Amino acid sequence: MKHLTFILTAAWAVTAAVGAPTLAGTEPPVVGANLVNEPYKQTAAEQEATFRILQAAGVHVIRAGIPGNDQGLAFAQGAYAHGIKIEWLLGVYPDPGTPWPRLPDAYKSKGLWRGWPLSTANADAFKANIGAQLAELESKGVVLAGFELGNEINWTGFNADFPLPAQGRVLNEKDLASDPEGRKIAQGYLRYLQTLAALKDIRDHSMLNRRTPIISGGLADLDDSGKWLRSVKADAVSVDATLHFLQANGLDQLVDGYGLHFYPLAISPGSAQGQAALRAHLELNGLTQCAPPGAAKGKPCWVTEWNFNGLKGLDACPIDDSSRIAMVGEMRSVLHDLADQNRLGGSLYYTWQGQIHAPKEDHDSAFLCGALTESGRLAVAPNIADLMAGNLISDTHSEAIKQRPCDIYAAGNTPCIAAHSTVRSLYAKYTGALYQVKRASDDAAQDIGLLSDGYANAATQDAFCTNTTCVVTRIYDQSTKHNDLSISSGGRYKGPGPNGSDLGAAADALPVTAGGHQVYGVSISPGMGYRNNRTSDVAVNGKPEGMYMISSGTHFNSGCCFDYGNAEVSGTDTGAAHMDAVNVTEDLSWADCRNEPGLGVQADLENGLFHWNQRSCNPASNVSGGHPFISAWLKNNGQTTFALKWGNAQSGGLNTIYSGALPAGYAPMRQEGAIILGVGGDNSHASAGSFFEGVMTAGFPTDGADNAVQSNIVAVGYGAPTGLAGTLMPGSEISLQATTACCIGDYVRNLNGAVVIAPITPSSAEQDKSDATWIVRRGLADNSCVSFESRNNPGDFLRQQNLALHMQPFDGTASNRVDATFCPQAGKNQKGSSFHLVNDPTRYVRHYYGKVYVASDGDSTNPWSTPVHWSDDVSFIVGPPWSP
């Protein structure tokens, strides 16, 4: 039993199933997660992000309520459109006129009686309402994974037939027959069975859901000592007594599975003793009642909620996931045995994600700190047979990784000679490190390796960089050529780093999701760049080659040169055809491009970004459209021809920009074989952009291979940072609303680089809304605080300079990091949040006469530190973004 936060209303229900469940129950068990925190109340964009992340994690079934209104219908349709079926959590309908049970005052904070008294359950009302609602869902083609009636009906929490005040009793079968309290509960159980019969009738006469299983409401497990019930002064009926009573009164004729909830206590996770205790807890709470389909007595069990009590390490970011990983392994080992015996219908982890707008995350979530945790990934992994305890990692590894881009190119005889990514392995068999980070606190370096499914283990970075900052110092080449990229040491143009070198990208500036994991991309601001001037087997002097990079369609500028590919080994401009790099930028170099500027994909062949073989603008190279992830492609046979393509890295195929002759003066090519990222051949470093992965091949790849790689990229499920909005969690998109009485319609916004508060309303211009939208990033100078990146000027951050706030590009310097890092705390006027400078806890972000500053309370050195209205002026409501 868990102290759950959701309210079971008459219109609630939950279920889940993968594939087409059969009533005979011979399908493999359904595996999925709860999504019970009113997810249908999220915006359409938030729901879309949630569904996409669920999809990427392989979740095909969620347990959720579906309210009988447009919101509920849209939510169910949206899930179904993403291949996600809902195990519908339904509640009973009460007799007309029944008042919602009012909690005695002493229980107000305890959240009990969140369900109608079952003795008022009215089967006719249920039939009329749910029958109509199911018909509407079916008219939209929605097939469900299951119907689950009621939630934890065996204790005070969700069944108001239990009296309050209570003593913490656990009633047994005899009590249900003879004890006054027990008899009242038994009456309710009988009314519950009548509603179950109505549900069966609805299901049996439905159009699309006749084979959808009915599951009895998940019963609350009781803690083994009874201490918890006594402490909250609530009563319960044991799981076995409840099931025996219901069976004796016809349960098995009405349902296809028994719903059970398991929250065992974490006792020495990972030990034999812990595993034995966990199994004993489950057996005490219903496990022995689970039977194969068709058994004389009993039904397969649906564990419609499971998680653990007493786990530590999950309340702060980064989490310590080790105990939960061990417990998930133990739990899934028991479930695996049950499945082997054909006694398991489904397993639905509690929970996928708490309220996404809640100020604090629900530590039971699979998705925590902006990412799917490893324990969460294992808890919801679809194939239970692959997840037996003891070989969780190795068994999933082979399943998850099949083919990666460099396997595809190798099969086409154009093998990779360079493969760089901070996100994922680019070969199925690559097991080495992806990149290296260095932290500011002690200059120590750390390699970031892979999770079992070939995605970056970003948690290693988070742990290593806690309370300090890290930059990416090296991106390893995954090919056998060891063409690693390091921070560029400079060239014709010196960088702002030591001895004219460039700067490294902040390691946590670009959190995104890929493969269902939170990982980091490389966010390049002017002054940053990577290079290798001493490579092996990169094309030189007219040899053929191909390359692609995954970049961003929203984070770019027009500075020279956001390149990935082949460049001069000297870091200087040695003339036409000495470079062959794919370039993503707003190219203003050709006069006719300046009429309609926008992001484009070009070939940097030196002394020219070529859109085709002319020194002019090719409209086809324009890829503006705001795709957050794009793939940019260049291949060159080195003698006569080259081709440029681009794709949306989240969906669809490739678009050809140009395929034909090389420009005059560039045939044959004279490549030199250095590799660059984020700079030009001569180390021009004025560009901004994002990099997630890129490869270079030996030989001119076929279009078929490129297309297969594009599909492989799309399958990654590159996603927006977290899909979060309105919270201070990294990746969340937000608005910051003033709370001073004068200005409650005002929001913090960028106004041509200055930062002000100004009114924004739903009818404001898109540009204004976008200027008032910010993306929360981990603090650039201290990752326990936050930084705010501009929504419409990616790479620009809120920062203080001379105590006034500005929006400026992140330049990677230590002072810029500090000036752009703010530490949140509760609003000084009890509303929203206040943010102090990371290096000065007395100075808070404050608005004053329309402009935004940092101010201390009553410091007389400047007018904006006046104590008048100080606590109101420094308090801001973190709300949903104006421009998601």
Residues known to be catalytic? 606, 682
* Least Cβ distance, residue 491 to ligand AHR (angstroms): 8
* Least Cβ distance, residue 563 to ligand AHR (angstroms): 6
Identify any residues that bridge with 551 across adjacent strands, giving them in sequence order: 630
Give CA 813 to chain center in angstroms: 29
Q: Which of 67, 680, 699, 884 binds ligand AHR (CB under 6 A)?
A: 680
Identify any residues that bridge with 654 across adjacent strands, giving them in sequence order: 647
Options 192-200, 221-229, 677-685, 876-884: segment touching ligand AHR (CB under 6 A): 677-685
- The yes or no reply on residue 304 touching ligand AHR (CB under 6 A) is no
Q: Hey, what are 492's tokens?
A: 């014709």
* Least Cβ distance, residue 516 to ligand AHR (angstroms): 37
Options 144-152, 340-348, 443-451, 679-687: segment touching ligand AHR (CB under 6 A): 679-687
Q: How far apart, in whole angstroms, are the C-alpha atoms of residue 45 and residue 687? A: 30
Restricted to residues 471-510, the positions that interact with ligand AHR (CB under 6 A) are none
Q: Hey, what are 180's tokens?
A: 């006054």
End-to-end CA gap in the chain? 38
Q: How far apart, in whole angstroms, are the C-alpha atoms of residue 96 and residue 336? A: 44
* Least Cβ distance, residue 605 to ligand AHR (angstroms): 7
Q: Which residue is nearest to ligand AHR (CB)?
A: 680
Q: Which of 451, 472, 549, 561 binds ligand AHR (CB under 6 A)?
A: 561
* 573 vs 811, beta carbon nearer ligand AHR: 573
Q: Is the peptide bond before 165 cis (omega within 30 degrees of 0)?
A: yes
* 27 vs 573, beta carbon nearer ligand AHR: 573
Q: Which of 62, 470, 560, 675 binds ligand AHR (CB under 6 A)?
A: 560
* Least Cβ distance, residue 212 to ligand AHR (angstroms): 60
* Least Cβ distance, residue 492 to ligand AHR (angstroms): 7
Q: Angle between the 272-284 and 322-340 helix axes, to the nearest 10 degrees?
A: 50
- The yes or no reply on residue 681 touching ligand AHR (CB under 6 A) is yes
* Least Cβ distance, residue 496 to ligand AHR (angstroms): 18
* 362 vs 606, beta carbon nearer ligand AHR: 606
What is the side-by-side order of every strand in the sheet holding 600-604?
445-448, 435-439, 470-475, 485-487, 530-532, 674-677, 563-567, 580-585, 600-604, 609-610
* 354 vs 608, beta carbon nearer ligand AHR: 608
Q: Which of 684, 710, 834, 883 binds ligand AHR (CB under 6 A)?
A: 684
Handedness of CA 370, 376, 377, 382 (dihedral sign): negative
Options 12-20, 221-229, 401-409, 674-682: segment touching ligand AHR (CB under 6 A): 674-682
Site string for ligand AHR, 519-558 (x = CB under 6 A): ----------------------------------------
* Least Cβ distance, residue 637 to ligand AHR (angstroms): 20
* 202 vs 561, beta carbon nearer ligand AHR: 561
Restricted to residues 428-467, the positions that interact with ligand AHR (CB under 6 A) are none
Residue pair 777/370 in contact (Cβ under 8 Å)? The answer is no
Handedness of CA 54, 58, 62, 68 (dihedral sign): positive
Listed in sequence order, the DSSP H helices in 255-404 are: 272-284, 322-340, 374-380, 392-400
Number of helices (H) and strands (E) in the chain: give both, helices first: 18, 45
Q: How far apart, in whole angstroms, are the C-alpha atoms of residue 837 and residue 860? A: 18
* 529 vs 723, beta carbon nearer ligand AHR: 529
Identify any residues that bridge with 518 across adjacent strands, giving them in sequence order: 513
DSSP labels for 133-185? HHHHHHHTT---SEEEEEESTTBGGG-TTS-SS----EE-HHHHHHSHHHHHH
Q: How far apart, in whole angstroms, are the C-alpha atoms of residue 241 and residue 246? A: 9
**Nearest Cα to 563, choosing from 547, 583, 548?**
583
Pairing of strands 214-219, 146-151: parallel
Q: Is the peptide bond before 163 cis (omega within 30 degrees of 0)?
A: no
Q: How far apart, in whole angstroms, are the C-alpha atoms of residue 876 and residue 832? A: 5
How many residues lie near ligand AHR (CB under 6 A)?
13
- The yes or no reply on residue 682 touching ligand AHR (CB under 6 A) is yes
Options 167-175, 612-620, 657-665, 680-688: segment touching ligand AHR (CB under 6 A): 680-688
Identify any residues that bridge with 735 across adjacent strands, giving them in sequence order: 879
H-run or E-run covering 128: helix 123-139
* 573 vs 789, beta carbon nearer ligand AHR: 573
CB atoms within 10 A of CB 191: 21
- The yes or no reply on residue 789 touching ligand AHR (CB under 6 A) is no
* 607 vs 727, beta carbon nearer ligand AHR: 607
Q: How far apart, in whole angstroms, are the C-alpha atoms of residue 709 and residue 678? A: 22
Options 134-142, 277-285, 365-373, 676-684: segment touching ligand AHR (CB under 6 A): 676-684
Tell me how far CA of residue 760 lies from CA of 62, 208, 753, 879, in angstroms.
Answer: 37, 46, 18, 13
* 675 vs 709, beta carbon nearer ligand AHR: 675
Give CA 378 to chain center in angstroms: 15
* 502 vs 573, beta carbon nearer ligand AHR: 573
- The yes or no reply on residue 573 touching ligand AHR (CB under 6 A) is yes
Q: How far apart, in whole angstroms, are the C-alpha atoms of residue 428 and residue 405? A: 9
DSSP labels for 46-101? HHHHHHHHHHHTT--EEEE---SSHHHHHHHHHHHHTT-EEEEEE---BPTTPPPP
Listed in sequence order, the residues at least 6 apart from 158 whose beta carbon sits closer than 8 Å to its beta carbon are 8, 113, 114, 115, 150, 151, 152, 220
* Least Cβ distance, residue 656 to ligand AHR (angstroms): 22
Listed in sequence order, the residues at least 6 apart from 754 whose beta carbon sits closer than 8 Å to its beta carbon are 806, 807, 851
* Least Cβ distance, residue 558 to ligand AHR (angstroms): 12
Q: How far apart, in whole angstroms, are the C-alpha atoms of residue 520 and residue 240? A: 48
* Least Cβ distance, residue 666 to ligand AHR (angstroms): 11
* 242 vs 585, beta carbon nearer ligand AHR: 585
* Least Cβ distance, residue 599 to ligand AHR (angstroms): 17
* Least Cβ distance, residue 541 to ligand AHR (angstroms): 18
Q: How far apart, in whole angstroms, are the C-alpha atoms of residue 16 and residue 36? A: 12
Restricted to residues 585-614, the positions that interact with ligand AHR (CB under 6 A) are 604, 606-609
* 188 vs 680, beta carbon nearer ligand AHR: 680
Q: How far apart, in whole angstroms, are the C-alpha atoms of residue 625 and residue 571? A: 33
**Nearest Cα to 466, choosing from 450, 486, 446, 451?**
446
* 145 vs 579, beta carbon nearer ligand AHR: 579
List interacting residues with ligand AHR (CB under 6 A): 560-561, 573, 579, 604, 606-609, 680-682, 684
